[in-house]
Amino acid sequence: MIDKLRSIAIFTTVVERGTFRAAAAHLGLAPSRVSEVVSELERDLGVTLLYRSTRQLSLTQEGQVLHEKAQAMLATVESGLDEINTSSKEPHGTLRVTAPAFATQTGLMDRFAAFATAHPRIDLRSDFSDAPRDLIKDGFDMGIRAGWLEDSELMKRSIGQSDRLLVASGAYVEGRADATHPTDLETWDWIRFAMRPDTTSLTSPTGEVVAVTGRSNILVNSADALYEFATRGLGVTAIPENLACRGFDRGDLVHVLPDWTLRPLGLHAVWPDQSRRETLTTLLVRFLADWQD
């Protein structure tokens, strides 16, 4: 029975990691051994669990059933481990966290560093990317999301916000008529972020709200890319304040309509309702949330 449970755990890791090689690297085993274990499990059960191709793996119907049951089993085991951790002075285990790439240049890094210092026995595995991540499919315990969350089955908690500024290169602004109102920007070129609306709303000091669409032929999935294209004089864009200030300090960017403000991006911690490392996940969530209080 112990060997079969181990084989099921390895099979689940293969599914979560997407390839035998990635699972092997995570488990510290040879890829051939991981493939052999899954094949032995299939022979023992008398069913095919995975469709194999040169490019990807996919679950059969039987594999899907086993994977769902295995996830529930492993979540129960992890929950038990977390309860043990809670009663110890130093919680330990591995936490896999994903966050936007621009967060590496913000105070959020101070929070992560402080958490790592306070809990040295917790291994923090961090992924920084502006591309969306599927927490469950990609095997993350928690994610940091920037923006305005839509309804989701994920648990969530606010951990702060990131202000945004409207910027462009000095050369680009000089080549345009003076802008005194957001409507003046309708004829400007806009550099857009793929995961944001096609319009940008600005608020005046008196509370007037104006939405601007403008012209846009550049769409990116990275805040750093917004910054780089803006410094090269390709248009106006809205970027996190930390990136904007970097451009101001270097003389690469100027603040467009500084008297008007953009809606800040909310920062939220999100995690599955039944996270594998539930106690460790909520420990990090509370730590990040308390930092802003």
Residues 127-148: tens digit of each pLDDT: 998 777 888 778 888 999 887 6
Question: What's the chain's average pLDDT?
Answer: 85
d(CA 95, CA 31): 24
pLDDT at 274: 60
Give dist(CA 15, CA 37) in Å, integer.
13
Condensed to tens digits (0 to 9), the pLDDT of residues 92-139 reads 888 899 998 888 878 888 999 999 999 998 999 999 987 778 887 788
Q: Tell me, what's the pLDDT at 181?
A: 94
CB atoms within 10 A of CB 238: 24
High-pLDDT (> 90) share of the chain, %: 33
What single-letter amino acid sits at 157?
Answer: R
| Amino acid letter, residue 253 | L
Q: Is the whole-model pTM more than 0.75?
A: no
Across 83-91, average pLDDT = 60
Tokens matching residue 65? 């059933």
Distances in whole angstroms, Cα of residue 86 to Cα of each of 81, 248, 283: 9, 46, 10
Q: What pLDDT shows up at residue 134?
A: 83
Q: Tens digit of pLDDT for each residue in 192-219?
A: 988 778 889 999 999 999 999 988 889 9
Query: Largest alpha-carbon pair distance within the chain?
Result: 76
Q: Binning pLDDT at 50, 70 and 90, where does residue 63 land? A: confident
Residue pLDDT, tens place only, 162-184: 899 999 999 999 988 889 999 99
Per-residue pLDDT, 247 = 95
3-state helix, strand, coil in the chain (%, to 5): 45, 25, 30
Specify the pairing of strand 215-220 against strand 189-193. Answer: parallel
Q: How confident is the model at residue 220 (pLDDT cuts 50, 70, 90)?
A: very high
Torsion of CA 101, 106, 107, 112, to 10 degrees: 20
CA atoms within 13 A on the CB side of 200: 30
Alpha carbon distance 80, 93 (integer Å) = 12
Pick from 234, 268, 270: nearest CA to 252: 234
Nearest to 173 by CA among 251, 93, 253, 115: 253
Which phi and psi (to 5°) does residue 53 adopt?
A: -140, 175
All structural domains of the chain: 2-84 (1.10.10.10), 88-162+266-292 (3.40.190.10), 164-262 (3.40.190.290)
